[in-house]
Amino acid sequence: MKALRRSFLVFLVLVGGLPPVSGWTQVDITVTRTVIQRIPVAVVGLAPFHLESGGADLAAQASSILMDDLEFSMIFEVLPPSFLPFEAREVQLGTEEEVLPPLNKLKVQAMVAAELTMRGNDLILEGRVYNVARGTFLGGKRYFGDVKALRTMVHRLADEVVLRLTGERGIAATRIAYASKTKRATELYLMDYDGRNSVLVTGNRSINLSPRFSPDGRLLAYTSYRDGNPDLYLLNLETGRRDKVSALPGLNISPAWSPDGRWLALSLSKDGGTNLYLMRRMGKGLRRLTNGIGISVSASFSANGRQIAFTSDRGGSPQIYVIDIEGTNLHRLSFKGGYNASPKWSPRGDKIAFISDRGGGGFQIYLMSPDGSGVQQMTTLGSNEDPAWSPDGRHLVFMSTRGGKKDIYLMHADGSGQRRLTRNGFINFAPDWSP
Amino acid sequence: MSRYLNCSLLVGVALLTSACVVTQEEFRSLQQDVRGMRVELNAIAKKGGVSDGEEWGTSATDMVARLEELSVETRMIQGKLEENSHHLSELSQRLDQTELKVARLRGEPVRPGGTSVAGQPAIPSTVPPPPGATARPGVSTPSPTGQPLPPSGQGLTSPQHPAAASPGQQVMQGSMPSPEKVYRDGLSDYTKGNYDLAIQSFKTYLTFFPKTSLVPNAQYWLAESYYSKREFLRAIREFDKLVNKYPESPKVPSAMLKQGYAYLELGEPAQGQGVLRELVAKFPRSREARLAQDRMERL
């Protein structure tokens, strides 16, 4: 187990340290886009590349990952290679500008040309981005790594494409933490946003719950019964160091990070009832936000860090409330249905995802505005719980029973594109999306 | 038509009010129960000195069970009060909308609250503006510094944000958004941390819809936006307006608490404590009073 954890950390360090060889040239690009209009983009190059004769075509894998990432972003519409008036994979770096005119005729707005080569034991993935209409080169980047890091290199290239074309951060290189229950334990895992590369991060054969990434992505807060009591831990994902930051008598559960990463909201039962508290991230400066003998859990900060949405039964049934970080201005947001819970404030600040039984037949995921208005249903199949936002606010990860048991799924924030991520045969739940 | 709408809304309000009365009765009954429990508890406590342990234990167990029942009941009633309050708020907003529609149908330059608007901004949908007008005298919302807003395209205004345009422009375009939209845009900008836009929205709301039901809330969020920007002097001033103009608003204890905190942030502990003490005196059972006590103890 130790070896596994060590290799995980080495993996993180390696991937985190992938250096670009050449920087991007900052060139302005004007891309006209509305919420529903995607940018047509073509991916060319990535000629067949095999490490050994008869082995897998790594360039084909890279091309597929890149196109999936760009398509999933909700920003791009990737043209299928068969729609192009030339053989896309035969385009070589250095000659890619020749295909800009035919792409322009097809009204393609952007082109990504890429190539996979080898130097020593390292794979080299090079990507270049063009504004097709203007025929201008926007920049290029090279990534180095071993074969195992290929997916990560491609995800990073996809994120650079998103960043350079839209100014927004992409989510292809993000990760999802989740809990997985076996017969013996409930452990926490990390996986890529597309469900690949799952890695164990706890491994204490106890019950580990509620993983929450810090806003800088370096720390993972979670509750563990490792020492008998449900205590709150912080795991440093870069060093592997674990700190027990709250071990008060009773529950130390349901953590949530403030957007600046300085504060953690959590639920404690040390004084009777289960109430909401704020503390500094290393456990100091505990401040109580709610009172009473009821249950207040599932805190989630607003984007401005001034408010916290949470679930409370102070009105007789679980409902969603909002309170200021000073512990004042408490008000209720949900009124329909007997059970509304698990609020998650969008990083963009304009929506709150939550679960509700208002439709009957199990829980479904809904979105609402921060004042409780404009409720939209996102899911219909099976029972769906534990919503969490992607860092760009365009997607949600959640748990669903639609496949027969609890698994992790993704969807776009308009409810479309729902897809399953976990297929490990265990009970998977409580996902959280890294920044 | 408008009479019909108004009547139906009034009936709705009446029904809801009757629902509130039922809730108040339940609440009174609960209070009587609690009083009864206190008397019983006192009796048991007195008896405890002379009776045997078993009898005391049974009574205590019963008491715990009944207290648990009461706790559940209290929460249920709390929930009902929240729901009634919410329904009342919804109904009030619908009434606001109806009044606005009626005023527009009549072509009257009348505010939603029904007041005359001599020298005040109107909400015409058909009256064209004077040629070349960008803003009418008396309708521009003051900026945080008290100066008129810059023209469109500069400063805080944004074509994508209806509430961010100056009221004069909105009148000129004849497309004033609904009060709910202005309010929600403000709240949305507040939660995103776009405090300047939020301030503009809430000022627009208070200027154009001064008689609507969400005015106290808009006043609160205006002050809160300044507070979040750490412009504590302005926050104090705006919270003060809420406390003085709308003393019945449920947000008054929060406003007073933040006023007190704002004074403390400004390094004026005497004034801060004064406000916090006043809060404790006025709303001794509120959560804000507890928070104020805590804060004063830490001074």
Over residues A300-316, the pLDDT tens digits come to 999 999 999 999 999 99
Contact A370 B188 (CB under 8 A): yes
pLDDT over threshold 80, residue B162: no
For residues A170 and B174, the model is more confident at A170
B115 within a domain of the structure (yes/no):
no
Chain B residues closer than 8 Å to A319 by CB: 79, 82
Query: How far does chain B reach from its first CA to its final CA, in angstroms?
Result: 60
B220 within a domain of the structure (yes/no):
yes
| Residue-wise burial string across B151-189, b where 16 or more C-beta atoms lie within 10 A, e elsewhere | ebeeebbeeebbbbbbbbbbbbeeebbebbebbbbbbbb
Highest mean pLDDT among B13-27, B56-70, B140-154: B56-70
Place of tokens 């597929």: A64
Contact B71 A371 (CB under 8 A): no
To test the contact with chain B by mutation, choose from A371, A375, A389 the residue with the greatest count of B C-beta atoms within 10 A, namely A371
Mean pLDDT of B270-293: 96
CA distance A337 to chain B (A): 12
Contact B228 A332 (CB under 8 A): no
Give the domain CATH number at B193: 1.25.40.10
pLDDT of B294 = 92
Model pLDDT for residues A222-253, shown as the tens digit of each residue = 999 999 999 999 999 999 999 999 999 999 99
Provide the chain A residues 298-337 that lie in CB contact (below 8 A) with chain B.
302-307, 313-317, 319, 324, 326-330, 332, 335
- Asked whether residue B293 falls in the same domain as residue B170, the answer is yes
pLDDT over threshold 60, residue A58: yes
B154 within a domain of the structure (yes/no):
no
Provide the chain A residues 9-68 that lie in CB contact (below 8 A) with chain B.
none
Contacts of B231 (CB under 8 A, 6+ apart): B144
B6 within a domain of the structure (yes/no):
yes
Provide the chain B residues 130-159 that lie in CB contact (below 8 A) with chain A.
none
Domains of chain A: 18-166 (3.40.50.10070), 176-433 (2.120.10.30)
Q: How far apart are CA B292 and CA B280, in angstroms?
A: 7
- Asked whether residue B87 falls in the same domain as residue B173, the answer is no
Is A122 in a helix, a strand, or coil? strand
Give the domain-ending residue among B105, B127, B144: B105
A171 DSSP 8-state letter: S
Domain count of the fold of chain B:
2
pLDDT over threshold 90, residue A275: yes
A161 half-sphere exposure, CB direction, 13 A CA radius: 34
Give the domain-ending residue among B59, B76, B105: B105
Question: Would you call A7 an interface residue with chain B, using a CB distance cutoff of 8 Å?
Answer: no
The count of CB pairs under 8 A between chains A and B is 86
pLDDT of A36 = 59
Contacts of A11 (CB under 8 A, 6+ apart): A148, A149, A199
Domain that holds residue B213: 166-297
- pTM, whole model, 2 decimals? 0.80
Question: Would you call B228 an interface residue with chain A, using a CB distance cutoff of 8 Å?
Answer: yes
pLDDT of B36 = 62
Is residue A315 within 8 A of residue A349, CB to CB? The reply is no
B46 within a domain of the structure (yes/no):
yes
Task: Compare all CA atoms of chain B with the CA of A309 and give the residue at the minimum distance.
Answer: B191
| Residue-wise burial string across B5-25, b where 16 or more C-beta atoms lie within 10 A, e elsewhere | beeebeebbeebeeebeebee
Helices and strands: H and E segment counts in chain B: 10, 0
Chain A residues closer than 8 Å to B19 by CB: none
CA distance B166 to chain A (A): 23
B233 within a domain of the structure (yes/no):
yes
Contact A332 B82 (CB under 8 A): yes
Model pLDDT for residues B203-241, shown as the tens digit of each residue = 999 999 998 999 999 999 999 999 999 999 999 999 999
Provide the chain A residues 264-303 that lie in CB contact (below 8 A) with chain B.
291, 293-294, 302-303
pLDDT over threshold 50, residue A190: yes
- Asked whether residue B100 falls in the same domain as residue B193, the answer is no
CA distance B149 to chain A (A): 25
Q: How far apart are CA B209 and CA A370, in angstroms?
A: 21
Confidence band of B143 (pLDDT split at 50, 70, 90): very low
Mean pLDDT of B116-124: 39
Mean pLDDT of B239-246: 97
Of B80, B193, B287, the CB nearest to A349: B193
B18 within a domain of the structure (yes/no):
yes
Give the domain-ending residue among B105, B125, B146: B105
Which of A358, A353, A347, A362 shows the shortest CA–CA distance to A400?
Answer: A362
B127 within a domain of the structure (yes/no):
no
- Asked whether residue B52 falls in the same domain as residue B175, the answer is no
Chain B residues closer than 8 Å to A329 by CB: 220, 224, 251, 254
H or E element that contains B64: helix B53-105
To test the contact with chain A by mutation, choose from B191, B217, B227, B265 the residue with the greatest count of A C-beta atoms within 10 A, namely B191
Is A73 in a helix, a strand, or coil? coil
CA distance B67 to chain A (A): 12
pLDDT of B299 = 83
Model pLDDT for residues A154-179, shown as the tens digit of each residue = 999 999 999 999 998 899 999 999 99
